[in-house]
Amino acid sequence: DIQMTQSPSTLSASVGDRVTITCRASQSISTWLAWYQQKPGKAPKLLIYKASSLESGVPSRFSGSGSGTEFTLTISSLQPDDFATYYCQQYNSNSLLTFGGGTKVEIK
Amino acid sequence: EVQLVESGGGLVQPGGSLRLSCAASGFPFSSYWMNWVRQAPGKGLEWVANINQDGSEKYYVDSVKGRFTISRDNAKNSLYLQMSSLRVEDTAVYYCARDHSVPGVVFDSWGRGTLVTVSS
């Protein structure tokens, strides 16, 4: 199985800050990586797929990069609506999909 | 508008069974792979199972193989998850999620989830 490790697990930041979240895969997954945002009591929302493709309707302050085993999600200027938990997900194999453990972005 | 509405969750004893349903609308259901993803209370996301458009391909996470069965009825625009031999560790919110149309399995639409609690 491919293990996904996110860091940090919690991040404290202020509105306007540039925020970067890292996701590492236990083996190469090319660019088969997605990022989701989840708010308390809500379903996750797709932000990024194929490591760097922005989902329709997602603000351009969100961006993704990386390939192989190391990936990043960047929020260029944190907005009040962005305080949430973020998950990466690998889909190198369509029959064995795994998520990272999550990164909670909190208000500093 | 894409809508996915789960139902069927509840309290069940260890070893028991439960059938979850997901009613889909707003898109051509028979054209999409569909998935179940779960989230234990206060924990992260775990993909559970998926099924292709005509139901001929099904995949499961190892922890549910032999206990859970995913199925679909394209005439009713519905997805199902039959769960048996339930364990305490199966306690979670279960989400129905649609596969994006891009290559690979990416979840672009989600339901609100249904809570399954396995406890004596």
* pLDDT digit string, tens, across residues B4-52: 999 999 999 999 999 999 999 999 999 999 999 999 999 999 999 999 9
Residue A20 CB partners (closer than 8 Å, separation 6+): A72, A73, A74, A75
Token pair in block for residue B100: 């994006």
The answer to whether residue A93 scores a pLDDT higher than 90 is no
Among the partner-chain residues B45, B50, B102, the one whose CB lies closest to the CB of A44 is B45
Q: What is the pLDDT of residue B104?
A: 83
Q: How confident is the model at residue B103 (pLDDT cuts 50, 70, 90)?
A: confident
Pairwise CA distance, residues B6 & B93, whole Å: 10
Record: contact A99-B106, CB cut-off 8 A: no
Minimal Cα–Cα distance from B55 to chain A, Å? 14
The sheet carrying B3-7 orders its strands as: B3-7, B18-25, B78-83, B68-73
For every residue of B51-62, DSSP letters joined together read E-TTSS-EEE-G
Which residues make Cβ contacts (< 8 Å) with residue A1, sequence separation at least 6? Answer: A96, A98, B62
3-state secondary structure A45-87: EEEEECCCEECCCCCCCEEEEEECCEEEEEECCCCHHHCCEEE
* pLDDT value at residue A95: 82
Structure tokens given for B92: 């979670």
Q: What percent of chain B has pLDDT over 70?
A: 100
Question: Which helix (H) or strand (E) covers residue A107, if one does?
Answer: strand A103-107
Kindly list the residues from chain A whose CB atom is less than 8 angstroms away from the CB atom of residue B106. Answer: 34, 46, 49, 89, 91
Considering only CB atoms, B110 lies closest to which of A44, A91, A98, namely A44
A38: which chain B residues are within 8 Å (Cβ-Cβ)?
45
A62 alpha-carbon distance from chain centroid: 9
Q: Tell me which chain B residue has its CA closest to the CA of residue A35.
A: B106
Residue of A93 and A52 predicted with greater confidence: A52
Contacts of B44 in chain A (CB under 8 A): 87, 99-102
Record: contact B110-A53, CB cut-off 8 A: no
How large is the average pLDDT for residues A29-37? 97
Nearest CA in chain A to B112: A43
**CB proximity list for A77: less than 8 A, separation 6 or greater:** A16, A17, A18, A61
**pLDDT category, A104, cuts 50, 70, 90?**
very high
pLDDT for res B101: 81
Tens digit of each residue's pLDDT (9 = 90 or more) over B60-102: 999 999 999 999 999 999 999 999 999 999 999 999 999 998 8
